[in-house]
Amino acid sequence: MLTSSFNHKANTGLPTSSFSQHANTDILTSSFNQHANTDMLTSSFTQHANTDMLTSSFNHKANIDLPTSSFSQHANTDILTSSFNQHANTDMLTCSFIQHANTDILTSSFNQHANTDMLTCSFSQHANTDMLTSSFSQHANTDMLTSSFNHKANTDFTDQFH
């Protein structure tokens, strides 16, 4: 990937993103979470949240439109720079994700039970994805050009393809 970090069940906020448990998506520029349904290029969906914008911040079941955003539980948005907390869902270039995050971006890392389709990312336990460059560990399933597998491996690195 370009820039990514790995920490099993860790909460990391980085300029380039870290992802943890139960992430899921398959789109070009959008993110989808539970009970979300959409067909577009730039949009994000999560539980009980729905929006398509460039700059916004979402809190618990809140709809806010701001130039710079911070996200917490059940957040959903499509922006360029933001930070996300539990059950966050977004499509952006630089962001941080923790438990149950869902997104499609250019630079990100995914941890347990991650599922996504993007260009540059890393995956760990139970990952499933279709991408060009990524690393995979236990129970991984993917279609890509360059990938690596490590059974039950937890790796924290940047700018590395294994």
- Sequential pLDDT tens for the chain (162 residues): 333 333 333 333 433 343 333 344 333 333 333 323 333 333 333 333 333 333 333 333 333 333 333 333 333 333 333 333 333 334 333 333 333 344 433 334 433 334 444 333 333 333 334 333 333 333 333 333 333 433 333 334 443 444
Return d(Cα 61, Cα 140) in angstroms, integer: 33
Q: Say if CB 45 and CB 36 are below 8 A apart.
A: yes
Q: Are strands 43-46 and 49-51 parallel, antiparallel or unpaired?
A: antiparallel
Structure tokens at 74: 């059940």
Query: Which long-range contacts does 88-92 make (Cβ < 8 Å, 24+ apart)?
Result: 88/46, 89/31, 89/32, 89/33, 89/36, 89/44, 89/45, 89/46, 89/49, 90/31, 90/44, 91/27, 91/29, 91/30, 91/31, 91/42, 91/43, 91/44
Look at the block and give the residue holding tokens 């099993």: 8
Instruction: Please give the torsion angle defined by the CA atoms of residues 22, 26, 32 and 36, in that order, rounded to the nearest 10 degrees.
Output: -120
The residues pairing with 102 across neighbouring beta strands, listed in sequence order, are: 89
> Residue 142 has which token pair?
């993917």
Torsion, CA 3, CA 7, CA 13, CA 19, rounded to 10:
70
Assessment of whether the complete model's pTM goes beyond 0.85: no
